[in-house]
Amino acid sequence: MIDENVQATEPEVETPNDYAAALSAKEAHRLATRPNIDDLVDAVVRDEIGRLVLLAKPGEKLIVERFATILPGRPWLDTRTYTIQSIDEATGRIHLWDDELQRTALTDYIGGTKAGYRFKLPTKGRALVSNKRKRGRPKKIVPIKPVEQPAVPVATNPDGTPVKRGRGRPKGIKNRDASIIAAEKKAKADLKAAKKRAKVEKKAKMTTKPVRKAVMMTAKKRVVKN
């Protein structure tokens, strides 16, 4: 028997009659979602000596249909598909894994069969039995109103036609005083000229140094000869 804690939210009602009607409608809707597994093969059978035997093995799928054992009429609880992890044939306990809820579960195929539970084997090619459904109230979708953009005024010619904008930066965005521009140009030209003069002077020094060295060597040779 599978131990699962499910917290049910009761509908908000005003009178006992409304409360009973709401519960009855809720139970009818729940029973209508019960999957039909009558055509599936039984997973628990009796052997030649009358013992209950589980036909599934660890790693295989097992469908378990549970019923309430202490309520009048033994109503249907749920039908789930599990993956078998381990089997204890002496006690009948099966350790399971719930793929939908991503948690472990425990059942007893011997005691469960005696209590009225049904154990079935999934059929190849048929969709697995699923009892998954969204909990709580559906989320209310609130439509988002589009944001109205303010109209941008368009410049027009005297005849009413829009002014055609040319390429490049519009005039008047980065205007500066003419004297500042002239001073910047002059400073830039002076810097360029200074760099050029320094380069010429450096080159001249490099060309005159070997000549001076040769003249000095010639003068030394003359002194030695004399």
Complete DSSP assignment for 176-217: --HHHHHHHHHHHHHHHHHHHHHHHHHHHHHHHHHHHHHHHH
Is residue 118 over pLDDT 90?
yes
Q: Are residues 115 and 209 in the same domain?
A: no
Is residue 9 over pLDDT 70?
no
Q: Does 1 map to a domain?
A: no
Q: What is the band of 4 on the pLDDT scale with cuts at 50, 70, 90? A: low
Q: How far is CA 77 from CA 155, 194, 195, in A?
A: 74, 96, 94
CA–CA separation, 128 and 123 (whole Å): 8
CA–CA separation, 6 and 68 (whole Å): 14
Indicate the average pLDDT of the chain.
79
Q: Does 161 map to a domain?
A: no
Rounded mean pLDDT of 121-129?
A: 78
Q: Are residues 99 and 28 in the same domain?
A: yes
Beta bridge pairs of residue 105: 96
pTM: 0.48
Please state the domain count of the chain: 2
Q: Does 210 map to a domain?
A: yes
Is residue 142 over pLDDT 60?
no
Q: Are residues 23 and 107 in the same domain?
A: yes
Q: Are residues 213 and 117 in the same domain?
A: no
Q: Does 185 map to a domain?
A: yes
Consecutive H or E run containing 12:
none
Rg (CA), the chain: 47
Q: Are residues 117 and 24 in the same domain?
A: yes
**Residue 43's domain spans which residues?**
16-121
Is residue 110 over pLDDT 90?
yes
